Amino acid sequence: MDQTQGAQLLTVNVVAELRPDHGRTVRPTAIDKRPVTGRIAVGPLGVAGDLQANRKYHGGLDKAVYAFAREDVAHWESRLGRPIPPGTFGENFSTVGLEVSDALVGERWRIGSGADAVVVEVTMPRTPCMTFARWMGESRGWVKRFSVHGRLGAYLRVTTPGEVSPGDPVAVVHRPAHGVPVSAVFTGLEPAQARTLFEARDDGEVRLCPEVRDRVAQALGR
């Protein structure tokens, strides 16, 4: 086990209320996540009390939980000149002391230390959208700015359900040998990285979700 020194689950955030998203049509969005207290159950489909308004792009087994590092939030606080509370980026898990955006595809984290500790697996990066931009009040150029910065956070698959609470320690319990960070899936896989991921999949080292398999195949020209 690789205990990341001082890494913690800072807050657990679930949807506070559905809000209207005024795009081309008005649709509900569940991006309004806010911290909750106490022990919170985490199952295969995510954090108890949370939901996704658009199941086409959010939720499911491969995107059950979205994690974002508080260190990356701090970057945007300095750029935007305002405080950004936990959950504002739509994250379920706000972490501190943990590399999230450059975690490896298939990397596993253990959250908590008791018998009910949760184990999650990094699956893919976030793809920022205009709903996110409108929610941030930064519609003009926000998607590009957030994408270019490259610190997108990570979606997680829940491999061992259990319970978590704010302040729980986070340990990296498995780092795949392929060495490909989840951020590269969004910014563009090099052919060598794509081949490495396919080989890791074939060897049973990592499970690639459909979106990542498609991007790997694209990088290889298949």
Per-residue model confidence as pLDDT tens digits over 187-219: 999 999 999 999 999 999 999 999 999 999 999
Tokens of 167: 């302040």
Work out the pLDDT band at 121, boundaries 50, 70, 90: very high
- Domain-located, residue 199: no
- Domain-located, residue 135: yes
pLDDT digits (tens, 9 = 90+) for 22-58: 877 788 888 999 999 999 999 999 999 998 766 666 7
Task: Note if the pTM is more than 0.85.
Answer: yes
CATH number of the structural domain spanning residue 126 = 2.40.33.20
**Span 94-104, mean pLDDT?**
97
Radius of gyration of the chain (CA): 17
Residue 159: the pLDDT is 98
Q: What is the rounded distance in angstroms from the CA atom of residue 175 to the CA atom of residue 173? A: 7
Whole domain around residue 151: which residue ranges?
A: 8-183
Give, for 33, the enclosing helix (H) or strand (E): strand 33-36
pLDDT digits (tens, 9 = 90+) for 139-161: 789 999 999 998 999 999 999 99
List, in sequence order, every residue forming a beta bridge with 94; answer none if it has no partner. 11, 68
- Domain-located, residue 188: no
As to burial, measured by CB atoms within 10 angstroms (0-12 exposed, 13-18 middle, 19+ buried), residue 107 is buried
- Domain-located, residue 156: yes
* 138 has a pLDDT exceeding 90: no
Number of domains the chain is built from: 1
Residue 21: the pLDDT is 87
**Farthest CA pair distance, the chain:** 48
- What single letter denotes the amino acid at residue 58? H
- Domain-located, residue 195: no
- Domain-located, residue 32: yes
pLDDT digits (tens, 9 = 90+) for 75-96: 999 999 999 999 999 999 999 9
Residue 137: the pLDDT is 92
Rounded to 5 degrees, φ, ψ at 8 are: -140, 155
Residue 1: the pLDDT is 47
- Domain-located, residue 112: yes
Residue 24: the pLDDT is 75
Residue 26: the pLDDT is 83
- Domain-located, residue 91: yes
| 16: Cα separation from own chain's centroid | 19
